[in-house]
Every structure is written in C-alpha cells, then in structure tokens.
Structure 1
Amino acid sequence: MGVEGLVPPKNYGIKANREEEALQEINKELLDDPDYAEVEDLADHLETFKKKFLEFEKDAEGNIDMFGLSRMLEKVGQPKTHLEMKKMIREIDSTNKGTICYRDFIAMMLGPKSSVLKLILLFEEKMKEKEKPTGVAPKRDLASLP
C-alpha cells in the first residue's frame, strides 16, 4: 500500500497553530512592554522574529534546540560546531534548559546585549537587503581579472 491511500490525521496542524497563537500572545505582551517602547517598527520586527522562530522551533515544546539552531545556522551559511552552538545557546538561555525560548530569542534580537547568534542573524538580514544585479553578466577580458 502506498502513501497515496493514507489520510492525514484530523488534528494535523493543530500543534503548529497553538504554537503560533502562543507566540502571538507573547508579541502582544511585548508591544505593551515599556522596555521595548522605543523600538521602531516593533510590531513588524516581532512578526518577522515570530516567523523565523517558528521556522526553526521543532522540539515540540516551543524552544529552538540544538538541531534547530544547527539548521538555522546552515541556512544562513554559517555552520558551527556542536561546542560553538552550545556556547551560543548558553549566552542566550535564561531557563538553563539548553534551548532558546521565544522570550530569550526576542530579548537577544531587540536587547542591547550582542551575541554571536544575533550578529549572524542581523548579518543575514543585511545581506537580503542588497539588491542583486540582474541580466547578463558583463564580458571581461583577461586583463580585467585580478
């Protein structure tokens, strides 16, 4: 029997919806938090961070674990060793669970403290902003090569 005959369970996607709703509730709290009152475009930043967090949160408990962090770093072209990732998590983790919860993720991205992970993610955003040239590449001769 192939997969084409299988019917997805009725609760498929419910966990993801609950997770997104929980993060949306945290975002609402943060919008009223005086600590973040001075952040420009806070609502837009929070929505972007929520999407990024949900993309890599796969531990079924609302946290980015070592595997999720590894995928995140590989996606932005900055793969790290296991020990480097443990250090990154330790810099951010306020719960001492060895994972990154959403509140820690937001505090890292919007707070004054700079961590390696924050720098990598901000670098990724800056790289996206640059417009890539389109069209046919200009012809070059041997004299123009470095």
Structure 2
Amino acid sequence: MPSTVLDKNDYQGGAKWGKVKTEQAKKIDEINRDLIDAETYKEYEDLEERLSTFKTQFMEYDTDDSGDLDPTDVAYMLEKLGKNKNILEIKKMIAQVDLDGTGTINYHEYVQMMLGKKNSILRIILMFEEKSKEKPGPSGVAPVKRFEDLP
C-alpha cells in the first residue's frame, strides 16, 4: 500500500485522518475480496469473519496510517497486549513475518502470518489475545443451594 502519512503539525487534520482511514479500509476490503476469490485459504470456513477481524486489528495497530506495521506500530501493539519488548526483539519478530524485506509488515504479510502454516511469535501473541478475551459468564439469579444438596 502506498504511504499516506499525515502531517503531524496540522492540528485540524480530523477530516483528513477520517479520509485516510476510509481509504485504508477500502483498500483492505479490496484485498480481502481478492483473498476470498483466490481461494488461497479455502480450508477456513469462517474466512470472511477472520479477515474482518484482521482488518480491524491491522487498522488499529497501524498508528501512522502508512499501510504497514513498522517497529513503532508493533511496539504499540505488544504494549497494548501487555507484552513489552525491546526494539531488537521487535525487529526479530518482524523479520520472521516480513517477506519482501522492507522491515515492516504489510496487510498481505499480516494475513499470511495469521492464517499461514508457519508459526511466528507475533501470531502466537495475537492468537493468545483472542483467546484471553473475556467470555460472557452466566447471567441471572444463581440457583438456590441447600444443606441437603451438599455431598
């Protein structure tokens, strides 16, 4: 994806930021449609749902709206997940996933990391995040317990 870095000195950039995010969402939606049509990951029955989740995650962690996850974005992601790492560890994680040698993770590489056969540290951390999300507990009034029911 082409770089769409915003001007940090423009304090009235809310509309521009919204436009950049909308354009980024459209590009990712187009990539997702191509992935679904190509049937590269046809073994996943819930592919559309997974790609939608990946899109949301990718856009959230791409803090500079460049279309790539650079070491700063990955550091933010890991910090948000409570897994702080130093810059050398982050660069090693990115190198495991980076297929084109740019030192960043683009959306194609992100999807391949999450759905591909090869395990990476980032994939394990992100999958752990999904599993650790709170599941809804029982609701309503608890059943009445009596002494006769105790073992």
Q: TM-score range by the shorter chain?
A: 0.7 to 0.9
Equivalent residue number for residue 104 of structure 1: 109
- Aligned identity (percent) is 42
Query: 1:115 — aligned with what?
Result: 120
Instruction: Give the alignment's Cα RMSD to 1 decimal.
Output: 2.1
Letter in 2 for 1:72: M
Distance 1:91 1:11 in 2: 34
Structure 1 segment 127-146 matched on structure 2, within 5 A: 127-131=132-136
- Choose between structure 1 and 2 for higher RCO, CA contacts under 8 A separated by at least 6 residues: 2
Q: TM-score, normalised by structure 1?
A: 0.80
Paired residue for 2:37?
32
- Gaps (5+ residues) in structure 1? 1-5, 135-146
May I ask how many residue pairs the two structures share in their alignment? 129
Tell me the equivalent position of 1:90. 95
> How do 1:40-79 residues align onto structure 2 when only pairs under 5 Å count?
40-79=45-84
Distance in 2 separating the partners of 1:95 and 1:128: 32
Provide the secondary structure at the position in 1 that maps to 2:133: helix
- Which sections of structure 2, spanning at least 5 residues, go unmatched? 1-10, 140-151
Task: Please give the alpha-carbon distance, in whole angstroms, between the structure 2 residues aligned to 1:89 and 1:100.
Answer: 7
- Asked whether the equivalents of residues 58 and 65 of structure 1 are also in contact (C-alpha less than 8 Å), the reply is no
Q: 1:8 to 1:98 in 2, by over 3 A?
A: closer
Which stretch shows the higher mean deviation, 57-66 or 18-27? 57-66
Whether the aligned pair in 1 keeps the contact of 2:69 and 2:105 (CA below 8 Å) is yes
**Which contiguous aligned blocks of 4+ residues in structure 1 show a shift greater than 2 angstroms?**
6-12, 58-61, 129-134
TM-score by length of structure 2 reads 0.78
Amino acid aligned to 1:26: I
Cα deviation, residue 42, structure 1 = 0.3
**Which residue is 2:20 aligned to?**
15
Question: How far has the Cα of 1:115 moved from its partner?
Answer: 0.1
Cα distance in structure 1, aligned partners of 2:104 and 2:12: 34
